[in-house]
């Protein structure tokens, strides 16, 4: 086995940890966005409550106008009633006055109802706004936690990158280059254990001769799996038979 193998194994261990952390770090922007979407329900409630309030205010205005119009009309008829000549015309005016006053009363009732409804709408707006504020505080807290976790993970990557440098230092340049090239094609793996006569990277058989070579004392030979191309190493002890 090549003397750099233990360092390659360490390098790969660190590389896998870095890759897992980076994959996790990529999910953080999404997690922040998801936290924000938790507010959309509460925001929509505020918009709906405000719309309800606006509508009831419009209605209130409308009934105010109604009351005023019917009052004006009753007054107009009363003013006219002093000037009528016939009993019939007088009666007709009295009828109109009574009718206008009934309409005033009706419009005032409606106005009162709308006023109560708009007070209720105001309460709903306050309630929805309070809910939103509460949700915003919860989401802000959650986002802070996500950011803290993200910072921690970034720090872990930093320290692993330093570990990587330490693992890399004793590895000859040509072996580094080979490892990098293989790892790029194999999801970050450059080495694989040969165990029970199999490459653990792909499961294919490793030639007995290769296994034998792998078990030899440290040398400067690199053996690669013939199927997947990963650099092979073995942790199996040297069988006594090979010494005989």
Let me know: does 202 contact 228? Beta carbons within 8 Å: yes
Half-sphere exposure of 43 (CA within 13 A, CB side): 7
Under rule CB under 5 A, residue 42 binds Zn ion: no
CB of 200 to Zn ion, least distance (A): 8
Query: Closer CB to Zn ion, residue 92 or residue 202?
Result: 202
Query: Closer CB to Zn ion, residue 157 or residue 202?
Result: 202
Residues 163-222 that bind Zn ion (CB under 5 A): 199, 201-202
CB of 16 to Zn ion, least distance (A): 17
Query: Closer CB to Zn ion, residue 8 or residue 128?
Result: 8
Burial of 33 (0-12, 13-18, 19+ CB in 10 A): exposed
CB of 140 to Zn ion, least distance (A): 50
How many residues touch Zn ion under the rule CB under 5 A: the total is 6
For Zn ion, what does the binding mask look like between residues 221 and 240, x meaning CB under 5 A?
A: ----x-xx------------
Query: Closer CB to Zn ion, residue 101 or residue 226?
Result: 226
Query: Closer CB to Zn ion, residue 151 or residue 227?
Result: 227
CB of 189 to Zn ion, least distance (A): 10
Query: Closer CB to Zn ion, residue 46 or residue 178?
Result: 178
Binding footprint of Zn ion on the chain (CB under 5 A): 199, 201-202, 225, 227-228
């Amino acid at each position: 086995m090549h003397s750099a193998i233990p360092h390659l194994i360490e390098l790969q261990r660190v590389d896998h940890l870095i890759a897992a952390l980076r994959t996790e770090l990529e999910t953080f922007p999404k997690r922040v966005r998801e936290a924000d979407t938790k507010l959309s329900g509460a925001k929509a409630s505020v918009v709906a409550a405000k719309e309800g309030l606006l509508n009831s205010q419009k209605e209130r205005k409308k009934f105010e106008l109604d009351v005023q119009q019917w009052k004006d009309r009753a007054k107009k008829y009363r003013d006219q009633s002093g000037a009528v000549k016939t009993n019939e015309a007088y009666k007709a005016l009295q009828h109109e006055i009574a009718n206008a006053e009934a309409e005033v009363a009706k419009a005032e009732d409606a106005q009162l109802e709308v006023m109560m409804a708009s007070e209720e709408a105001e309460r709903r707006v306050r309630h929805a706004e309070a809910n939103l504020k509460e949700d915003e505080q919860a989401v802000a807290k959650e986002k802070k936690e996500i950011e803290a976790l993200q910072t921690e993970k970034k720090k872990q990557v930093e320290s692993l990158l330093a570990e990587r440098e330490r693992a890399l230092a004793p590895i000859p340049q040509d072996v580094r280059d080979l490892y990098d090239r293989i790892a790029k094609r194999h999801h970050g793996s450059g080495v694989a254990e040969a165990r029970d006569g199999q490459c653990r990277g792909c499961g294919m058989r490793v030639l007995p001769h290769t296994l034998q070579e792998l078990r030899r004392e440290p040398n400067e030979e690199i053996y690669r799996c013939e199927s997947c191309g990963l650099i092979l190493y073995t942790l199996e002890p040297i069988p006594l038979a090979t010494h005989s």
